[in-house]
Amino acid sequence: MSDLAKLEPIWRLQEALLKFPQVEFPTQHHWADGMYLRWVYRPKGALIIGKVHKKEHFYLVIMGCVQIEKTIYNAPSLIISQPGTKRAVLALEDSVCITIHRTEHRDLEKIEAELVEADESSPYLPGNILKPKEIDLCPS
């Protein structure tokens, strides 16, 4: 099975989730000597679908418990994420997950362009900011 075929179910799940209201998750960004760390709080019951990653990086569960596909990760857990990874992460408890990436950039737009594939269907802008909803002021 090709890598693209493996991702098809997660793309279908993302499409279905976009029919529901979206939530912005508390996110912290930290930099140190060519590294970028992204810290995301996930309340119990939250389902987050990430973008396709271009580079190998660390993914840590530092608080709580999450499920990724059929695997449950209790804190503390470390995953080495491979290029081509796109995950759906379900928080089984209030959780904190961290990713750590190599990059010289400190601008979130440049970091995202370097580290993940563009995804116009994602509800999030660089930095994990929820895209503003377009408001139809003249509904038919």
For the segment 11-36, what is each residue's pLDDT rounded down to a tens digit? 999 999 999 989 999 999 999 999 99
Percentage, residues of the chain above pLDDT 90: 80
Neighbouring-strand partners of residue 95: 42
Give the tokens for residue 34. 């060519």
127-139 pLDDT tens trace: 989 988 754 444 5
Of 133, 115, 135, residue with least CA distance to 124: 133
Share of the chain above pLDDT 70, in %: 91
pTM for the whole thing? 0.86
Superfamily of domain 3-121: Jelly Rolls (2.60.120.10)
